[in-house]
Structure 1
Amino acid sequence: MPADPRGLRTDAPLLDAWLRQREHPPTPFTIPGHKQRTDLVGDVVAGDVPLYAGLDTMKLTTGVLVEAERRAARLWGADVCRFSTGGATHANQAAVLAVAGDGAEVVVSRTLHRSVLVGLVLAGLTPVWVRPDVDATTGLPAGVSPSTVRRALAEHPRARAVLVGDPSYVGTTGDVAGLAAVAHEHDVPLVVDAAWAAHFGFHPDLPRHALQLGADLVVTSAHKTLPAWSQAALVLARTERVDPARLDAAVEAGATTSPAGAVLASTDAARALLERDGEELLGRAIEATARVRDRLRGVEGLVVLDGPDVDPLKLTIVLSGAGVDGNAVEADLIAQGMPVESADRDVLVAVVSLADDASTLEPLGDALLASVGRHRGAPRAVTGPAMYRVEPVVAMSPRAAWFAPHEAVPLAAAVGRVCAELVAPYPPGIPVLAPGELVTQDSLDALDQARRAGVRIAYAADPSLATLRVVSR
């Protein structure tokens, strides 16, 4: 029988429905086609219960999803919550569709994930790009400053929304309260991609979450720092500046009509766990992560991100000063069964969640120290990823460029042409080139730097980047 080891089902209606399906399996004449049999393709389909004619009836008469979303909205202090089984990618695109359309301008942080840019294509919006501050010591991004957004809104008074990502992929946080105040001065919503911050606001040593700081619409991933299935995410909104009907329509527009019940149930269970035991579990993880940071700070040349503007559960290490190649450290960790979120020549990022404690973090600290000691070399200058310094030049809207006739040209010949595709180092999936932007030598240099640092270049039609798609003349 399926287990509920922490007794969450009494406060998690979707989890309860999922467990009941497993405890009293039906003989379904509905999808999915495996019909709950694991003797056909194996345990890979075990627990795959649909929402329709599974967790609820086909007509959704029990309302378990609505109730679960209501409880999540209450926990985060939102007026509206919607669960997504398409991850923050689907949720970000829904957020963009919800705030504007028809060629409107929106102020957008350049550190946002490629899913937001695809959302701009879907909604037909034109970005007014703003860049984050970059820390001179590490070369990594901080937040976008309120003064930068204020200037952008003054220069583009018809902009309909402000979209930022906070925290950043490397765990740095910005002044979300200041950004909210600036957006509200212009009576536009602040939309925050907080994919990496589902735990924020639930322990006194963590930053407050974006809604607490005044944001209007927040996307967060239940699967990144909470114990939910992959692809689990939430859209949370206050409705003073966000139309709830339009938000619902936007969520439904890109959502599957066959949502995975296990993903939904795990989102509900993660919410219940966070509400009941989150502070205790997060406290253990924060304490254990702090001990690893202290150990690593003792290594000459290493820079370990820390302080009030850094997520206590994101372990980001800059290796340049110790002459260590992060790709070699990553290989060592994989060999020991401890893969990390991201590694390139200069920066290594390990994600910690409330599922971690000293039992997982102490071995990680031991392995990191040993690997750094093995691979130490001559110190290198800290440069940071060049993608955070590229100045995008918008020549046409992303949607117009996406659908325009295009041609593939040799990379060097693309300089000065209008890009027709999205190209981003992955992770983190932040575009260096986006549809509608002029291809510049700086953008090509940034991609080259990322590739030489060991980062995969993603989404380009030509993965080798020998050619690039540009708008036909």
Structure 2
Amino acid sequence: MPTDPRELRCDAPLLDAWLRFQEAEPTPFTIPGHKQRHDLVGDVVAGDVPLYAGLDTMKLTGGVLADAEARAARLWGADVCRFSTGGATHANQALALAVAGDGDTVVVSRTLHRSMLLGLVLAGLTPVWVRPEVDSATGLPMGVAPAAVARALAENPDARAVFVGDPSYVGTVGDVAGLAEAAHAHDVPLVVDAAWAAHFGFHEALPAHAIQLGADAMITSAHKTLPAWSQAALVLARTERIDPARLDAAVEATATTSPAGAILASIDASRALLARDGETLLGAIIEVTRRARERLRAVPGLVVLDGPDVDPVKLVVLLSGTGADGNLVEQDLLTAGLPVESADRDVVIAMVSLADTGQTVGALVAELVASVERRRGIPRPVVGPASYRVEPVSAIPPRQAFFAPAETVAARDAVGRVSAELVAPYPPGIPVLAPGEEITRDALDALGQARAAGLRIAYAADPTLATLRVTA
């Protein structure tokens, strides 16, 4: 169902401002330096309009950003909303600064993205880790159990907040309502990184979103499942347990002072589209994905992640039972012009969004099936991602480790030392080692297995893992 963006402008003040700027064709004497000319570096700068002296005046007298954020807060049922042009990374770090202080303890799910780990460094927070349950049949993470959070809070009564990631990168959904109840029993806020769930709560076949389920704050990425620019994200919060003034200060402290107006306008436009046509558009892609899962389940040995606790519009397939190597399957898909979100030896993840159709998803499924048949081999045992198999051993707070004098040692000599760096297989960027943790043999083995399975080792100074940075 194609949509003329001009039809949304009456309910999207930032989109309207972006369109008005284009229609006016001004001659600006402000940044950005391309001055709206496309003949210098090409259309790569097309649509780039600043917020200041672009969508609004330099003094923000029009109030279009505040208006758009208020509309988003109402749609998601939050008290406040802030738009981010720095993605969920910026949003996570702002919330780390907003809910606790230097030296405070927080309960943190080990499934959280590396951006929150760096948020702990910025805010000086000490994590008490809780780990997700893991499905023995697939090796993939499920949600963090509310009982695990309740136990962590009981053992750490001075904890100031609970941070979890839900849904997971593979689309599994936990008991957010139960997590909120556990956090609120200790009168601390629950912050949910729902980066992959901007569509939740807007169709009866989808899970409710975190704010609906009682979370105090939710981070979501508009650019993941909604048709927004890359780096587009939202922070949504209730203010009973989160100070809105401190949240604003934290957002501003970690944000650029030159926000891209096109990113902001795309968040606003996506919100307006979701409000007007979300149920219809989501219903269509839910049905398309359901049919895709049926076709994939018919492939012998192929396991398709599905069920009531799985995002209905995410396609995740496990290849172990087919013997096919997911890295080779990915190459086939790339050759066919069908890149996927993630692929390693055992798991292929394809993102489906509001922009997809039966034709696009059908083409992906057809090529995926053909590739699996072409690449078949001897079935392998299921081995889950490294990030979920390693028990973290905290030695010193992350901030202390990050700023401590460090030295580089051979990996074989690093066991028992304290990591000075964050090391994570990517995607999804969930750490196996974080600053301040003891380097264990299990951690090194898991990272080696992830690298052998075809994943990139990210954030480490030496991505080959021949050496590691440790505190001196």
> Is the shorter-chain TM-score for this pair beyond 0.5, marking a shared fold?
yes
CA distance in 2, matches of 1:364, 1:461: 36
Quote the offset at 1:5 in angstroms. 4.3
**2:33 pairs with 1:43:** no
| Aligned-residue CA RMSD (Å) | 0.8
Instruction: Provide the TM-score with structure 1 as the length reference.
Output: 0.99
Deviation, structure 1 residue 6: 6.1
Q: In 2, Cα distance between the equivalents of 1:5 and 1:162?
A: 39
Q: Which residue of 1 aligns with 2:182?
A: 182
Q: Does 1:286 align with 2:277?
A: no
Shift, 1:4, TM fit: 3.8
1:403 pairs with 2:403: yes
- Residue 431 of structure 1 aligns with an amino acid whose one-letter code is P
> Is residue 2:109 matched to residue 1:109?
yes
Looking at structure 2, the residues matched to 41 and 387 of structure 1 have their Cα atoms a distance apart, in angstroms, of 41
Aligned-pair CA distance for 1:383:
1.4
Aligned partner of 2:163 in structure 1 is: 163
Match of 1:371 in 2: 371
Are 2:386 and 2:432, in contact at CA under 8 Å, matched by a contact in 1? Answer: no
* Matched AA of 1:281: L
| Partner in structure 2 of residue 256 of structure 1 | 256
Q: How does 1:74-473 map to 2 (within 5 A)?
A: 74-472=74-472
Which amino acid letter does the alignment assign opposite residue 423 of structure 1? V
Retained in 2: the 8 A contact 1:385–1:449? no
- Note the alpha carbon deviations across 1:404-429, whole angstroms, 9 max, x for none: 00100000100000000000000000
AA of the residue aligned to 2:10: T
**Alignment partners' CA distance in 1, 2:383 and 2:339:** 25
Partners of 1:398 and 1:269 lie apart in 2 by 38
The alignment partner of 1:52 has SS state of coil
Residues 1:470 and 1:88: Cα distance change in structure 2 (over 3 Å): same
Task: Write the distance in 2 (CA, Å) between the matches of 1:50 and 1:437.
Answer: 41
Q: CA deviation at 1:364?
A: 1.1
C-alpha separation between the residues in 1 aligned to 2:372 and 2:145?
Answer: 34
Deviations for 1:14-50, whole angstroms, at most 9, x for unmatched residues? Answer: 0000000001111111100011111111111111100
Q: Which residue of 1 aligns with 2:69?
A: 69
Using the size of structure 2 for normalisation, the TM-score is 0.99
Given residue 208 of structure 2, which amino acid in structure 1 is its aligned partner?
R
Q: Deviations over 1:54-78 (max 9, x none)?
A: 0000000000000000000000000
CA distance in 1: counterparts of 2:45 and 2:385, whole angstroms: 40
d(CA) in 1 for partners of 2:259, 2:223: 16
Identity %: 77
Gaps of 5+ in 1: none
CA distance in 2, matches of 1:387, 1:61: 47
Work out the CA distance in 1 between the residues paired with 2:100 and 2:314.
Answer: 33
Q: Distance in 1 between matches of 2:412 and 2:243?
A: 45
SS of the equivalent of 1:223 reads helix
8 Å Cα contact 1:95-1:247 kept in structure 2: yes
- The aligned length equals 470
Q: Distance in 2 between matches of 1:348 and 1:298?
A: 17
Say whether the 8 Å CA contact 2:176–2:213 is kept in structure 1. Answer: yes
SS of 1:70's equivalent in the other structure is helix
Q: Distance in 1 between matches of 2:212 and 2:437?
A: 35
Bigger Cα displacement from structure 2, 457-466 vs 424-433: 457-466
4+ long deviations beyond 6 Å? none
Which stretches in structure 2 are left out of the alignment for 5+ residues?
A: none
How many angstroms apart in 1 are the aligned matches of 2:8 and 2:110? 39
Partner Cα separation in structure 2 for residue 83 and residue 376 of structure 1: 46
Q: Which amino acid aligns with 1:350?
A: A
SS of aligned partner of 2:226: coil
Measure, in 2, the Cα distance between the counterparts of 1:465 and 1:101.
Answer: 34
Structure 2: distance between partners of 1:365 and 1:436: 43
Shift of 1:463: 2.1
Shift of 1:386: 2.5
SS in structure 2 of the partner of residue 51 of structure 1: coil
The one-character-per-residue Cα deviations of 1:75-123 (angstroms, maximum 9, x if unpaired) are 0000000000000000010011111012000000001000000000000
What CA distance in whole angstroms lies between the structure 1 residues aligned with 2:166 and 2:76? 16
Q: Which amino acid aligns with 1:60?
A: L
